[in-house]
Amino acid sequence: MNLPVNLHEYEAQSRSRLAAMVEAYYAGGANDEVTLREAPRAWEELRLVPRVLVDVSAPDLSTTVLGTRIALPVMTAPCALNRMAHADGESAVARATHALGTIQVLSTMASESLEQVARATSGPKWFQLYCYKDRDVTADLVRRAEAAGYAALCLTVDVPVLGRREREVRAGFHAPPGISIANLEKYGNQAEKLGGAPQTSGLASYVASRWDASLTWDRVAWLRSITTLPIVVKGVLAADDAVRAVEGGAHGIVVSTHGGRQLDTVISTTRALPPIVDAVAGRAEVYADGGIRRGTDVLKALALGARAVLIGRPYLWGLAMDGEAGVRHVLELLRDELTVAMMLTGRPTVASLGRDLVA
């Protein structure tokens, strides 16, 4: 089989590699999936205004995130249970991101433990954190991430309850045999295998029973009190919330709709990004997550003020197709497309990107 030449082809070809229930989990969004469909279209609808007669003979895609230099401003977003796509799971993603000189953000809900993934490569990693009703579990996850060498905590704040994902419900989503939430195995009965039943989602039941729906802004302050790691708040769409996060000590904001999987018909990342960048006003870094499918999408996000972007579903498609090599190729496609887009718009460096690039 010929290698896919873009991320859309990866999506189409990966379907045959995934069990129907897993494909429903990876692909689905909330309710009518309006937000899910809108995410890539919102980037497409922005138009670029290129400049000409600029020396673009040596394009430089590198930037820094929280002081770490990365060669590609595309990071891998936290996605649960990567071993459902490929047996090598999150470790394969770690090796691929390291090879491309970027950062993996590992999910609390990973199918490999954070320690195992940390051993897979010396590349920089962030740990995504959900807050559990049992605060001791949350604190222990933070201590483990610190000990394993993770460079930041990415606190996800947009899941007080799981959005109703109808594809998951119809499929009776549950973790396949042999796959569980590896990070929680040490906490006894916290490590359910996400059992499911017809017309239910095992993940929704798990979230309702374990995650803390009473989460408020004081939890950011609490995290600040128990760790020296930088805190990135993920799942922000309102400028006022971004300001509160920064005032509470956050070092970064991820503008995200959670892949269209939480509240349907919310504002797109594309529209939410500029006012959040303006409100934060350089006091924290801002990242964009949602609907990135082309190098031009990355270019537009950076031009609107994002420090870097995160991709979720695309690297899962690559993982399903060819493990580590598939994830690496997905990142390479975005790298190559971004390189061409920067050259054709007369922007040879990430620092040269600005809002005047986008109409």
Residues taking part in catalysis: 258
C-alpha to C-alpha distance for 113 and 225, rounded to whole angstroms: 25
**DSSP conformation letters of 203-241:** HHHHHHHHB-TT--THHHHHHHHH--S-EEEEEE--HHH
C-alpha to C-alpha distance for 259 and 77, rounded to whole angstroms: 10
According to DSSP, the β-strands at 125-129 and 153-156 are: parallel
What backbone torsions phi and psi does residue 327 show, to the nearest 5 degrees? -65, -45
| Count of Cβ atoms closer than 10 Å to residue 335 Cβ | 20
Q: Is 242 helix (H, G, I), strand (E, B) or coil?
A: helix
Choose among 291, 249, 321, 304: nearest CA to 92: 321
DSSP state of 358: B
Choose among 136, 167, 141: nearest CA to 155: 141
Residue type, 225: S
